[in-house]
């Protein structure tokens, strides 16, 4: 009987120790779920804090024509001063390179400014040179690759011209989850601003009813690594299986495109 009592005491003690060890993990999960619930229920208040309200954006990834990668990169790098001189409504403009793919990402103060950009000096010069520089020319290589979007949320740029690298991620909402994904992304801007000093600029975008994107820039890869280990990435990862078509790996990670920054306006 005494042995049984001792055994029972040991079992009870082990059970208590297990409960104690589980508490920190349980606390972390509860905190994460509370944060997610807060995002879903306070979208309006966060939106009031967001910068770039009513701004629009465009992203164009363009494959260089064979043997023209360096020439295309030089062309885009030289375009930044022209954008600055001739397009006051283009708030930000980035020329990007990912191996043989060149890209432009820009932010506009409104829809009119975006229309002005696409009828401007730089767009005209690209049109004239597209047959030589871009695989597919103007229509197939440029126009067909334009992704226009509206800004949902942003962290205002800091130390802009120290940035050397950028990330663009396209994200498609799971069926029926576009509203919840938009709410999470809308609430994320102020969180990035508060918790990610190495993220020099961050913006969440809505392309159409079900498609979204994130664009951000960093001084170096350590900033990108800190971002993907940060609070917003953690919240998105925790909810990706429910909100994102393909989940975290196939719906987010597989769509990450990292680029070198060639020029900034």
What does the pLDDT look like over 101-112, one tens digit per residue?
999 999 999 999
The strand pairing partners of 173, in sequence order, are: 244
pLDDT tens digit sequence for 170-222: 999 999 999 999 999 999 999 999 999 999 999 999 999 999 999 999 999 99
Q: Which of 117, 43, 51 is nearest to 79 (CA)?
A: 117
Report pLDDT for 7.
45
pLDDT tens digit sequence for 224-238: 999 999 999 999 999
Asked if pLDDT for residue 68 goes beyond 80, the answer is yes
Please tell me the distance from the alpha carbon of residue 94 to that of residue 105, in angstroms, as a whole number: 5
Q: Which of 65, 179, 52, 159 is nearest to 106 (CA)?
A: 52
pTM of the shown model: 0.83
């Amino acid at each position: 009987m005494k042995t049984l009592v001792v055994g029972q005491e040991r079992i009870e003690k082990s059970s208590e120790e297990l409960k104690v060890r589980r508490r920190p993990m349980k606390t972390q999960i509860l905190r994460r779920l509370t944060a997610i619930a807060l995002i879903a229920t306070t979208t309006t208040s966060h939106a009031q804090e967001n910068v770039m309200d009513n701004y629009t954006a465009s992203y164009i990834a363009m494959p260089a024509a064979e043997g023209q990668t360096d020439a295309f990169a030089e062309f885009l790098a030289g375009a930044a001063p022209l954008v600055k001189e001739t397009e006051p409504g283009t708030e930000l403009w980035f020329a990007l390179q990912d191996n043989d793919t060149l890209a432009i990402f820009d932010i506009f103060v409104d829809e009119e400014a975006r229309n002005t950009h696409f009828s401007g000096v730089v767009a005209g010069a690209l049109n004239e040179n597209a047959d030589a520089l871009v695989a597919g020319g103007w229509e197939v290589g440029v126009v067909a690759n334009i992704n226009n979007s509206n800004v949902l949320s942003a962290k205002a740029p800091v130390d802009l011209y120290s940035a050397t690298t950028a990330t663009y991620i396209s994200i498609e909402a799971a069926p029926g989850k576009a509203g919840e994904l938009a709410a999470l992304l809308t609430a994320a801007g102020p969180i990035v601003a508060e918790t990610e000093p190495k993220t020099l600029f961050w913006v969440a975008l809505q392309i159409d009813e079900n498609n979204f994107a994130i664009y951000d820039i960093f001084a170096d890869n350590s900033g990108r690594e800190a971002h993907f280990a940060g609070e917003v990435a953690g919240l998105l990862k925790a909810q990706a299986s429910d909100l994102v078509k393909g989940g975290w790996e196939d719906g987010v990670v597989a769509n990450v495109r990292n680029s070198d920054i060639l020029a900034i306006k």
